[in-house]
Each structure stands twice: as structure tokens, then as C-alpha cells.
Structure 1
């Protein structure tokens, strides 16, 4: 499963877990979440992808 860590100022603030495994659905979900995250945490946000086994 792919999860995305939201990193603000070098610290992991939250982890986004997509509901579906299809690449198109994951892309749309993360794009929607990024709008919410930028409003909540500002512009200094980095999103890193990682695999969860």
C-alpha cells in the first residue's frame, strides 16, 4: 500500500492513506488533499511517498 507523509519544517505532521489502489484515483485523492494541506500548514509543505507492507 502506498501512503504519503506530509512534512512541515522537517517533521512528519500527518500521513495520507488513499482509499483505493488505482493510480488515477490516488493522484486525484492526493491532489485534493494537497489543497487542504496547503491551506492548513502554509506553503512550506513537502509530501513524500512510501510503501507500507
Structure 2
């Protein structure tokens, strides 16, 4: 893995990428997948980062 993420970071990055590409509502994703609070923060950060790029 290019950025050296552990599994949790990798999964969060992939989910953020999918949300960004599909415009899927974050809150719905969090509820359906029962994403932890830590995971929610990671995903939101990645989505924000991708939107700035």
C-alpha cells in the first residue's frame, strides 16, 4: 500500500472514495455499515481531502 495505511485506514479510504464517486449520503453509510465513531472521522476527513483535490 502506497501510503502505509493499516487495514482500518485502508477500508476508510476506500469507503470515502466510493462515497465521493457515488454521492452516497455519509450518514446513511454510517448507519447501514455501523461505522464506529473513529471510522466516521477518518471517512469524513478523507472525503474532505478528496473534495479539495
Q: Kindly indicate which of the two structures has a greater share of residues assigned to helix.
A: 2
TM-score range for the pair, normalised by the shorter chain length: 0.3 to 0.5
> Could you state the TM-score of these two structures normalised by the residue count of structure 1?
0.37
- TM-score normalized with structure 2 length: 0.37
